[in-house]
Amino acid sequence: MGTLAAFTRKDKTDLQNKLFESALELTRHRDYVALTRNFIQLLENFPSIHTAQVFEVHGRNNVETGMIIVDDKPRDKKLVLKEVTHILNKPFPLDEFLEQYPISSDQSRELSLRIEEGLIQSTFSIYNESTLERILVLRSQPLEGRDWETILFMLRIYSNMLSVIDEKDRDRLTGLLNRYTFDNQVSHIVEYSQKQTLIDRGECKKTSWLAILDIDHFKQVNDRFGHLTGDEVLLQFVRIMEQSFRYTDILFRYGGEEFVVILNGCSREGAEAALERFRQSVESSLFPNVGQITVSIGYIQLYANNPPAILIGEADKALYHAKNTGRNRIVSYLELLENTDQQGLATITEQTALSSYQGH
């Protein structure tokens, strides 16, 4: 491979122009998935590059954020990789990947080269401080020196843009995706989840579900113990969320003590079972200074023909029915439709509005 020093003056000018154009193209994006798709497209515009993929690193200890500390090898053998631009695809084990491509401790550094089916497979790590967050995989013909320089420059720009977007898209306290991100992504998630609906053994339909989780009597926690204790409760609650749900599920902090989970690829029974396991985990946990807390949950199936605001509104009705009938329970909106007449639903809507002023 050559270096910039070996290029002619015209080569250097052409490279500088290409770097400048790539930087402009990448920095115009403020959405994580759109940024990643554009980054991949720019890479695949290189004649020598056949494919480019970006994977997130996820682990049991922090399922949603994927913040996994790596020394020479991962601490947790249950880490997985999930492709950024195909959010519902099944993850695969990171340890199998690392058997062929050992992790480097250097940021944005090429991990390894491998000849596979006549192509060179190049793997790069993308770190945030000491944390491995993402991996870039390129499959290509041999690359010239100036192409390597351009790719490494684009990778640095992409990494910097990820830091900016993560700051905007994530809740500062919990690290979960925030309401801004939910509002921007939920319509895409609904559309994509419907396209990925599966038939399990020809019998059990699997789809996606939206659940709203609300900590019971959280206002009393803040009033009695103070906001610092309230923050500790929220952090422990989020840890239970991360331990309870799967890599393909998407977790959000919707606001205050309210959280949203999108459960992907499961039946109604599977969604109910996952939410019930979570409810029991919260109920059986001891929270700092407070002791026991409970959670109320309302959920609904994601339908492609329903606007996100309608879906949230219907899940809210189920949530407030759970709160108005004893708390610490799970209610499906489908259950309300099956068991309540139109007058009853109107009453629930009135109770929802009233409860919003009375606290949870």
Regarding pTM above 0.75, the answer is no
Q: What is residue 98's predicted lDDT score, i.e. its pLDDT? A: 67
Q: Is 264 exposed, middle or buried (0-12, 13-18, 19+ CB in 10 A)?
A: buried
Q: Report angle CA 128, 134, 138 to the nearest 5 degrees.
A: 130
- Phi first, then psi: what are they for 316, rounded to 5°? -60, -40
In 3D space, the residue among 320, 317, 212 whose CA is nearest the CA of residue 260 turns out to be 212
Radius of gyration from C-alpha coordinates of the chain: 23
Residues whose CB falls within 8 Å of the CB of residue 193, separated by 6 or more in sequence, listed in order:
88, 207, 208, 262, 264, 302
Q: What is residue 118's predicted lDDT score, i.e. its pLDDT? A: 76
CA distances from 326 to 195, 286, 329, 331 (A): 37, 21, 8, 11
Q: What is residue 235's predicted lDDT score, i.e. its pLDDT? A: 95
Q: What is residue 64's predicted lDDT score, i.e. its pLDDT? A: 35
Q: Please report the domains of the chain, with CATH numbers, ordered by start residue.
A: 4-169 (3.30.450.40), 179-358 (3.30.70.270)
Q: What is residue 340's predicted lDDT score, i.e. its pLDDT? A: 66
Catalytically annotated residues: 257
How far is CA 149 from its chain centroid? 31
The whole-angstrom separation of Cα 39 and Cα 53 is 10
Q: What is residue 357's predicted lDDT score, i.e. its pLDDT? A: 30
Counting as low any pLDDT under 70, the low residues of the chain are 1-16, 18-19, 59-82, 84-116, 129-130, 191-205, 304-305, 340-360
Q: What is residue 76's predicted lDDT score, i.e. its pLDDT? A: 40
- Phi first, then psi: what are they for 337, rounded to 5°? -65, -35
